[in-house]
Structure 1
Amino acid sequence: MVVFAGSLIGITIGLLVARSKWLGPVVQPVMMTVGTVPTLVIAPFFLIRFGVGRGSSILLVLVYCAVILYVFAQRAADNLDPVFEDYARTLGASPRRVSRDVLIPGTVPQILGGIRIALAGAWGIEAIVELLGAQQGIGRIVSVLAQSIDIEGIFAALVMLAIVAIACDVLTAWVIERLAPWSPAAARHKE
């Protein structure tokens, strides 16, 4: 749910910035600055500022997903051939209709790919934040096993994390193919 919320925020801001002349100079520097700070560097600051509970890890995953999807949405809108929007306007489409019928469907395949990447990164971020001090979760389990030097247990926990992450990625790829059958990735799977 956190990945979805962060993705929704990032997509909305990215599409607005891509089509707004005044919003870009304000938002772009902030998002790019936040996006260039490595997660391993920013995670301790989130833990210090917001505590070691679930709140800091949720906020960190939310910010990470928002930045990733902001970049994907903005680039998807920039990569959309302007002729499509021009044709829609020529045929009398309002700005809202151009956004609904041209911009959003044209950017969906790239945005869905960004969601898949953000989901993969969110797994790692969550585990890192838990390793840094959470009281529960897979990171905490690995930390406790490391203190007792249980190598097999650590390996088993990491394998379970990898299996769940792979299953989520496969499920996400399947959903993407169903939501955007016109995307190049979906077309490759049909051949």
Structure 2
Amino acid sequence: MGVITDNLDLWGEALGNTLLLFFAGGAIALVLGTLVGAMRVSPIPAARAFGTVYVNTIRNTPLTLVFFFFAFGYPQLDLPNPGFTVLGIWALGIYTATYVAEVIRAGINTVPVGQAEAARAIGLTFGQVMTLVVMPQAFRSVVPPMMSVFIALLKNTTVAAGFSVAELGVIRSNLSERGENALIVLLWVALVFVVLVLLLSALQRRLENKWRIAR
């Protein structure tokens, strides 16, 4: 326990940045992924084409290369530089959004076509059909795969360690400079991630039980 109690400043900063990357990146991924997932099933050809190109391009690009773009390519655009942490959030969000989009698209396909047709028959627009009829049902059916995406996002936050973001993936090197045993530090980092994943799994079970009753 001395590894933690003697270095609470570093652990607090590392855990805080990891959670910041996870929650902020997850929020971007959820919003952007939902929009792209809707585009993938849109009756508008241009929207479907954009969604397909976005998903196939970003999803097939290694996450490290996405980080490289934000770390080294973004500054060349002469835009305001918000810092590596914020750029890391956007890198994670944009990358994870592709997986969210595919999960959402799969969920949309589980909703009977007749419900969307009935909604259009009473005069609802495509946007109203998606937000009022299709999406609420789609989200219920995609809880397990969606949670798997967010668990992967949580673990992907460690990639930010290679781009000067002080999160749990970089704490080993920082504590090694203070003379701490690197193996023990890595075991504590692994334990922290296990606990966080277990919390996400518990949230998944709670949502599944709640929405199963609501069906």
With the shorter chain as reference, the TM-score category is 0.7 to 0.9
Asked if 2 retains the 8 angstrom alpha-carbon contact of 1:34 and 1:67, the reply is: yes
Asked if 1 retains the 8 angstrom alpha-carbon contact of 2:160 and 2:167, the reply is: no
Partner SS for 2:44: coil
Query: 2:195 matched to which residue of 1?
Result: 163
Partner SS for 1:136: coil
Scaled by the length of structure 2, the TM-score of the pair is 0.70
Structure 1 position 139 matched with structure 2 position 169 = yes
- CA offsets 1:128-186 (integer angstroms, 9 cap, x no match): 212x1334221121233467652112112221222122213322432343256457xxx
Query: 2:160 matched to which residue of 1?
Result: 129
State the one-letter code of the partner of 2:40.
V
Structure 1 position 30 matched with structure 2 position 61 = no
Task: Give the superposed CA RMSD.
Answer: 2.7
Q: CA deviation at 1:114?
A: 4.2
Structure 1 position 20 matched with structure 2 position 43 = yes
Q: Provide closer, same or farther for how the CA distance between residues 50 and 155 of structure 1 changes in structure 2, counting only shifts above 3 A.
A: farther
Asked if 2 retains the 8 angstrom alpha-carbon contact of 1:73 and 1:110, the reply is: no
> Following TM superposition, where does structure 1 have runs of at least 4 consecutive aligned residues deviating by more than 6 angstroms?
none
Scaled by the length of structure 1, the TM-score of the pair is 0.78
Q: Provide closer, same or farther for how the CA distance between residues 4 and 135 of structure 1 changes in structure 2, counting only shifts above 3 A.
A: closer
- CA offsets 1:100-138 (integer angstroms, 9 cap, x no match): 4421223112443343122111111111212x1334221
Query: 1:62 matched to which residue of 2?
Result: 93
State the one-letter code of the partner of 2:50.
V
State how many pairs are aligned. 181
- Cα distance between partner residues in 2 of 1:118 and 1:46: 22
Query: 2:116 matched to which residue of 1?
Result: 85
- Percent sequence identity over matched residues? 10
Query: 1:189 matched to which residue of 2?
Result: none
Query: 1:71 matched to which residue of 2?
Result: 102
Q: Provide closer, same or farther for how the CA distance between residues 59 and 170 of structure 1 changes in structure 2, counting only shifts above 3 A.
A: same
Consecutive unaligned residues of structure 2, counting only runs of 5 or more, are: 1-22, 76-82
- Cα distance between partner residues in 1 of 2:193 and 2:74: 25
Q: Provide closer, same or farther for how the CA distance between residues 69 and 84 of structure 1 changes in structure 2, counting only shifts above 3 A.
A: same
State the one-letter code of the partner of 1:151.
L
Query: 2:205 matched to which residue of 1?
Result: 173
Partner SS for 1:126: helix
- Cα distance between partner residues in 2 of 1:82 and 1:138: 45
Return the structure number with greater relative CO, CA threshold 8 A, min gap 6: 2
- Cα distance between partner residues in 2 of 1:141 and 1:70: 32
